[in-house]
Chains A and B, each alone.
Chain A
């Protein structure tokens, strides 16, 4: 691609007098904003670009060519579940009849939307083995925070002050960050050499501070892609101490069809619809992070809640009539400080409804007979990669993995080629890189998650390239260390960006 022509910022393409929109001109101009006192108006017009339509179309089309999506190629990004984003999902979510709904229009006028909302809540509850879900949270981290709020609201309702959250040291950084935002103190639980929770350490912590433990947060399979074999023991221990178990649904994809968080003893969880339920990541969002709870915790879920009701009317002409439909419970202002009430609200309206439409379409497309194959096929793909790459890449934990596998860099590290270099070289071959330097348990983590959608041919080709890079690391290490070579830009200067942050066009002009 020709960067001299198309590498501009939109502001650099702007020319006074151009426009890219058309608005009706026949409106009542009796009133104008000049009526507003000057003290309320901005002094200078905002320096937004002035561009014609084709210039804008070309600019963003060309920008898209500098991106890499699941539709472009294999995306083995560990812990991100980059599965295929079905096109029919987009078609349904784009239906005008949904796009035109205002969130505050009367419930009787939008029963279709509420039905989708309600049915998705119910479907997730069945898949998770829990009682009820809220769809309000907009992302996984938002779900974690909401889930922890549920847990705190529960303890508050019991008159129980619990301020600590147990989190395995292998956890993703979001877990402790969510706990801190929720006003909880993080206590790390150690991992064993095989990456699973050190149950003895957990027992010790519970005996020291059990009555202060609000919850334990866990990802299972954990961040190494390993199923926690003692999960039932762990949930029982924490429950005995009066704490609740939080399930981070980041890795739920592995378990579809085989195992449900509710059946493992988890009380609260979130699901990333943009991972397990195929909604696109969109370059970072919008996602959706529904939160589910076991029976007995439903009353704490945030509002608005969509509920199914049966209303009995007695009409003069028709006699008693039954209306079954969906209503919205918006909660009341006093909920937040009351026990046994919804914990409050976590967003403007209902959450990312457009994303929910896609997830529900996905569930209906697969149906009960296909959705159960998701976990097994994703797990098969990961184990296949694990066995076929272990000659060239160091496998620190052998044995079964679930939907993803973690290597600790190259087996032969003598040439100094790092995980970063391998990742960058993969870009040259037309693959997205795996997740690198996470989990933190190993120095050269390389985390591969293939998802259930990838064919044997795609995976074989990837494996071949990975072996080829391992060979290059021996024969021509410089080639790998200076990669990528075939991408629109080379490696970037992170230090320059962070030391003297330029985050707007105008700052770059200074």
Chain B
């Protein structure tokens, strides 16, 4: 037998006898003949562990998985995490457990989710956070549905054009099928066009507005006054914020947000080709019962001890079925644990240091790129955090190829001439200088020849 199957021939015979069957296939006698699968699967034969390792080593050989020095962001960032984090989340009591339905033997999970909720609430300034969502994009889509569901008389949900186009696409997909219109509010010079927004709000029927901070282009926008304007119309304000930057930046709560969402990958989670990360979602107490997803609450057990338990479950699909606030029934629990341990170690000071280093690196890189004479600011004068856009005068694709060939992922191309670069605390001054040097030396004519 195979290593994951403990059944010996003797076991099989005894168990079949008890079950009243001659062979295991008899247990499928209730499957109609026409639906029975009678051939072998066309799949590879079993690989031993040795062969498995070899197989994956080949797949990750330098040619197949280039380890590039990462200056790309656009929603996925190369941050540092203490060694402890990965080690602790691999503990099998966390890794191999289910959703904590049986509170008596799930206090580990419930306890860390409570801590996670507290940390997200603190970073965003909101009253209550759920136990996490799939990712930042789906969390934003859920927030859009929350806004729509909350509105009594509305005809649309507004979304700023400066929200990450990937996130916008997910929100628009959800809205299309759920059945409400998303209206894009245009941008000027890389930020939300306030006069266009004022006009939309004045027209009425706005269930809510979704913005991003820092926005897709890395710009830190000023959202003063927006919440009040929305609230006057009974619309809700949704801020998608990068939690790592919230060590420094004004919180969604300080902007007057009703709902805060975002992607938690920037809290030290490895990029892993884009997932798993973790979406976060938090809101005001007023909207608590409209919040989707799992929520852990504090209570007491019958011995008088502090204990934690899944709560406010009447919102959820297993009770409400089609009337639930959302269809979500799981979370990204293990990634929430990752974030919790990361934030416990980094703490108040560490997260600020990460933010300062990332900010300093990005601004230094921007200065050096402008100094090459080959770039111009795409959005002159706009304050940014650790990600920014510059316009390249020549063939941007050729330049990026050159950087890749030298082992550098020089950012993400966001327009024909526009390059978006992100810097985290992981990027050393040497790496920044070398990237600038590669770009400085690059001559298109030579590349073409």
Contact = CB atoms under 8 A, between A and B. Distances in A.
Contacts of B46: 364-370
B67 interface: yes
Interface stretch (A204-212, A239-247, A253-261, A411-419): A253-261
B447 interface: no
A361 B52 contact: yes
Nearest to B141: A346
Contact of A368 (B41, B318, B319): B41
A297 interface: no
B394 interface: no
B419 interface: no
A80 B421 CA distance: 43
Interface string A1-35: 00100010111001000111111101111111101
Interface stretch (A83-91, A307-315, A469-477): A83-91
A126 B41 contact: yes
Contact of B305 (A102, A284, A350, A489): A489
Given A258-B28, A427-B102, A7 B306 contact: yes
A40 B383 contact: yes
Given A139-B330, A344-B176, A492-B302, 12 more contacts: A23-B80, A47-B348, A86-B4, A145-B327, A174-B317, A281-B97, A283-B106, A355-B275, A371-B43, A377-B24, A493-B300, A497-B298
A269 interface: no
Interface in B215-236: 220, 222, 224
Interface stretch (B164-172, B194-202, B370-378, B436-444): B164-172
B334 A286 contact: yes
Given A11-B118, A505-B115, A343 B30 contact: no
Interface in A281-302: 281-287, 302
A395 B46 CA distance: 39
B141 to A, nearest CB: 8
A432 interface: yes
A28 B429 contact: yes
A417 B389 CA distance: 66
Given A182-B178, A492-B103, A48 B317 contact: no
A355 B334 CA distance: 12
B320 interface: yes
A376 B16 CA distance: 11
B155 to A, nearest CB: 16
B248 interface: yes
19 contacts: A43-B250, A46-B123, A64-B94, A68-B106, A102-B273, A103-B275, A109-B66, A142-B134, A181-B326, A282-B95, A284-B331, A285-B330, A364-B52, A427-B104, A458-B6, A491-B301, A492-B307, A497-B309, A504-B117
B188 interface: no
Nearest to A258: B28
A131 interface: no
B239 interface: no
Contact of B18 (A141, A345, A369, A387): A387
Interface string A456-490: 10100000000000000000000000101001111
A86 to B, nearest CB: 7
Contacts of B220: 36, 40
Nearest to B272: A354
Across the A-B interface, give the 8 residue pairs with the lowest CB-CB distance, nearest first. A349-B274, A344-B173, A367-B46, A103-B274, A282-B334, A67-B108, A112-B64, A69-B96
Contacts of A507: 127
Nearest to A182: B177
B76 A20 contact: no
Contacts of B295: 501, 503
Nearest to A364: B47
Contact of B108 (A63, A113, A484): A63
Interface in B37-70: 37, 40-47, 49, 52-53, 55-56, 58-61, 63-68, 70
B65 A101 contact: yes
B322 A36 contact: no
Contacts of A105: 66, 68, 72, 404, 409
Contacts of A287: 330
Contacts of B66: 105, 109-110
Contacts of A227: 28, 30-31
A285 B108 contact: no
B2 A373 contact: yes
B406 to A, nearest CB: 12
Contacts of A102: 68, 70, 72, 76, 78, 271, 273-274, 409
A66 B353 CA distance: 33
Given A177-B320, A371-B41, A48 B60 contact: no
A374 to B, nearest CB: 8
Contacts of B114: 9, 503-505
